[in-house]
A = this chain, B = another copy of it.
Amino acid sequence: MEKLILHEYAPSGNCYKIRLTAAHLGLTLERRGYDILSGATRTAEFLASVNANGRIPVLQIGERFLPESGAACFHLAEGSTLIPTDPFERADMLHWMFWEQYNHEPNIATLRFWIAFVGEENLSAAQKAQIDTKRAAGEAALDLLDKHLEDRTFFVGEALSLADIALYAYTHVADEGGFDLARWPNVRSWLDRVAAQPGHIPIDA
């Protein structure tokens, strides 16, 4: 495989998903950090050469750039056990990855970012007005995860897949956004199982 460079903001769960996938696969990533709080991914240079969407993560593969964490993880993991070989299970893995980006990340990750990184006192009025809605939606997302995990070891099939990696990234730091995971015991047990897998690395590695 060509040289892999991860354009990232290290505390971002979306960036961690790619590092965690690479760690499970034994792949080495060169890391380039950007301070998103000071707008380092909105510069003309970044927009022109890394990602016109002005966001991290972006996985650079040789001279090609791949934005979106789910796409980057899928690309790294093709042909590995992190993607189920059964067609329905493979699609079901993508279901959880899309669900995470639509129902989980915009609530749980955004509240973490607003509270733990930006600071509640620095939020705009429009952001403050969304806190209650995002809190309720984040709790509903955790309810759904907890129910799904009642009788399952991992999200899809019987083994760790990209679905677990995608959901682990922001769930395991949900407390930083004010979610008390004691309310969701099946989620907590699953977090422990994911963290106990060979090849696991923490978000601050």
Contact = CB atoms under 8 A, between A and B. Distances in A.
A60 to B, nearest CB: 12
A68 interface: yes
Contact of A71 (B64, B98, B130): B98
Contacts of A106: 102, 106
Copies in the complex: 2
Interface in A71-99: 71-72, 74-75, 78, 87-88, 90-92, 94-95, 97-99
17 contacts: A53-B144, A64-B88, A66-B95, A68-B98, A69-B98, A71-B91, A71-B94, A71-B98, A72-B91, A74-B91, A74-B94, A75-B87, A78-B87, A101-B102, A102-B106, A106-B106, A126-B133
Nearest to A58: B95
Contacts of A70: 94, 98
> DSSP class of A's interface residues: helix, strand, loop or mixed?
helix
Given A53-B144, A129-B126, A95 B78 contact: no
Interface of A: 52-53, 61, 64, 66-72, 74-75, 78, 87-88, 90-92, 94-95, 97-99, 101-103, 105-106, 126, 129-130, 133, 144, 147-148
Nearest to A67: B95
Counting chain B CB atoms within 10 Å of each CB, which of A52, A75, A130 scores highest? A75
Contact of A66 (B53, B78, B91): B91
